Chain A
């Protein structure tokens, strides 16, 4: 199994990034400390213009701190941050070209929806945002809610209002921290479509999420931070390739038996309808198949690359944490 130290090499020199001349965001050797705690450690990152860039990482790993530094809410202790080529360290507030949807929603409860959208639009430099607000309310299915107070909205509706407030100023870089929280599948699909539309129109999107399936489906590139350090950075195919085809995806009717103690299998993840087995280096997959057939009826057997979820767990799962703690 690969730990985060072992995949550091992978973070270096992603050739596909070099194809983009203009970079929306560039971080080089950025470190941020809070007292003695190092929240972000020597982080380097390049987000190409026009990409959807996934930020993943366990809670407390440094994702939000990194996003806040890009937004100029925090300044790094050392290193450089450039947004659209401008050095942001030590500068004033974030430019109107950049907009941020934080994980924790921030709406004044007693304000009316249209008023709060006007407020955020004006803060982002829009002078007459009325028509744009109407368009966005209709686009997000909130056309009848403009005159209602925020406190009257459901959680999902408030989430959509917050999203509109993020994009109302036509930002070129949109930073979304867990944008799908609180949305039902229909509204989640709507939001996904809107985000991809914005990307098609030229916006760069940084998408921070704990939902690996969202990252897999939407992101051109995925970046993972763990304990303040970058442990993954690249396209999904590149990340999966780096881990090889060490995963068996199977569907098996076990008839009361378990998958414990399979020879040559390092880890079993049970997803209900199917299971993923991570085989050990040099293990014979045919022997694993034979053992599975002894334990039950095998309906599906596939040699596959690991899912992003599996990669995440390999890096940040309890097993890895124990090992890394021991190394530290």
Chain B
């Protein structure tokens, strides 16, 4: 066992002292918070306040004036940062400048000309208000307004037009029907619902503790962060094993090591080293996360009761995936082969991330329950389900854990056999069926 630990310590130090590891561990939060950081650094450079000139062809004959008035109001007030000094207001959005275009007899020619003006950047877009926009019965197929633009990803103009025109049309209809717009708004206002947890009793004092409003961050964001952390740990700790084995094969280190330690002990040492690496990653990120949570006073939102499960899933996932990576690495002869072999494995590792949204939304659906009991995805999916309130029946994580333990033992056993044969093999890499044969027959 001492030799296994010697291997483990070398693997651990080689991994955590590598530039790639240090850069990755530092860059990951930077990348995740890159939006905020970019905004902080870029400041005004991220804003586009170029005027948007919009031509309006109003066939209704009544809406243009209201649109123009709304645009004037917006340009005077809404495009400035409220927190900036009144003497020197800071513009944070573009002005919308409307241009009235009278309906032409030849509509097609007229719209072609307007389109050319958009192409030449003279206009940003043009909009056609149909004659029946006020009277239309709201039929889905009956379009009241058509918006023409070559910048479909910029939605602000369209949204603003939609809001203003809708409000004007609504008011016109109220007036025509003799209804009081304020009374209708009051009558149709939605009733808000406060979402609370459950009432509890303080065991120490016996007093009833009122239910608290459910915190969306605590219920959704933190479970997601925990699950993403587990996924990152698997990728960062188990992933490098395949490259490490290939290096040892290509540099012929394998033969020297096999003169000192048996293949299984060697592989176990590598896996334990990577478990150590995974705890380092978790220590950095989870420690940092808890420190931030404490600093912001939201430490009670962190599901600390899950940290034990997290650690168990983390160790088992690193061992399970790490063993498979080691086995596959032993069967490959160079890095290119390893990349090819990694592709199907990456699909399996990515699978829980793809499924996570639906699992968190419906954590106790049949699909979520069944999938979370499939060992390769259990660590991530079961943790996600446990993290979302109200959690899962205790038997499920227990059974899931038992299945993962069994699968991990099986993976280590099979990988040990593949490793023993493959690690001394030079030249052409092994085929999948060769590795399967080694795993089964030894």
Contact = CB atoms under 8 A, between A and B. Distances in A.
Nearest to A93: B262
B260 interface: yes
Given A119-B6, A123-B3, A108 B260 contact: no
B251 A109 contact: yes
B47 interface: no
B218 interface: no
9 contacts: A71-B259, A93-B258, A107-B253, A108-B14, A108-B247, A110-B18, A120-B260, A123-B3, A123-B260
Interface in A292-316: none
B442 to A, nearest CB: 12
Given A93-B262, A106-B256, A108-B14, 20 more contacts: A68-B255, A73-B255, A92-B265, A93-B3, A93-B258, A93-B261, A93-B265, A94-B259, A98-B259, A100-B255, A104-B252, A106-B255, A108-B247, A108-B253, A110-B18, A119-B10, A122-B3, A123-B3, A123-B261, A165-B256
Given A106-B251, A107-B251, A108-B251, A124 B260 contact: yes
Interface in A95-142: 98-100, 102, 104-111, 119-120, 122-125
A216 B115 CA distance: 94
A309 B257 CA distance: 33
B403 interface: no
Contacts of A165: 256
A125 B7 CA distance: 13
Given A73-B424, A93-B265, A123 B251 contact: no
B75 interface: no
B19 to A, nearest CB: 10
A320 to B, nearest CB: 28
Given A108-B251, A109-B251, A71 B3 contact: no
A249 B262 CA distance: 50
Given A104-B255, A109-B251, A119-B10, A93 B424 contact: no
A102 B10 CA distance: 21
B219 interface: no
B254 A106 contact: yes
Q: Is the interface of B mostly helix, strand, loop or mixed?
A: helix
B14 A111 contact: yes
Contact of A106 (B14, B18, B257, B262): B257
Contacts of A105: 252
B246 to A, nearest CB: 13
Contacts of A71: 258-259
Contacts of A109: 251
B27 to A, nearest CB: 21
Contacts of B261: 93, 123
Interface in B236-282: 247-248, 251-262, 265
Give the size category of A's interface with B. 20 to 34
A244 B254 CA distance: 44
B44 to A, nearest CB: 45
Nearest to A71: B259
A109 B18 CA distance: 12
A120 B256 CA distance: 9
Interface in B1-29: 2-3, 6-7, 10, 14, 18
A325 B81 CA distance: 93
A95 B323 CA distance: 26
Nearest to B266: A93
A110 B19 CA distance: 11
B14 A123 contact: no
Contacts of B254: 106
Given A93-B258, A94-B260, A111-B14, A123 B252 contact: no
Contacts of B247: 108
B263 to A, nearest CB: 9
Nearest to B252: A104
A168 B261 CA distance: 16
B431 to A, nearest CB: 15
A204 to B, nearest CB: 16
Nearest to A175: B259
Interface string A245-287: 0000000000000000000000000000000000000000000
Nearest to A127: B2
Nearest to A73: B258
Given A73-B424, A110-B14, A111-B14, A93 B260 contact: yes
Given A94-B259, A123-B261, A106 B6 contact: no
A102 B260 contact: no
Contacts of A122: 3, 6
Contacts of B252: 102, 104-106
B130 to A, nearest CB: 71
Which of B3, B248, B256, B259 has the largest count of A CB atoms less than 10 A from its CB? Answer: B259
B185 to A, nearest CB: 70
Contacts of B265: 92-93
Nearest to B420: A73
Given A110-B14, A119-B10, A102 B259 contact: yes
B254 to A, nearest CB: 7
Which of A100, A104, A111, A123 has the largest count of B CB atoms less than 10 A from its CB? Answer: A123
Contacts of A120: 256, 260
Contacts of A123: 3, 6-7, 257, 260-261
A316 B257 CA distance: 32
Contacts of A68: 255
Contacts of B18: 110
A173 to B, nearest CB: 11
Contacts of A110: 14, 18
A114 B248 CA distance: 19
A124 B261 CA distance: 9
A48 B51 CA distance: 95
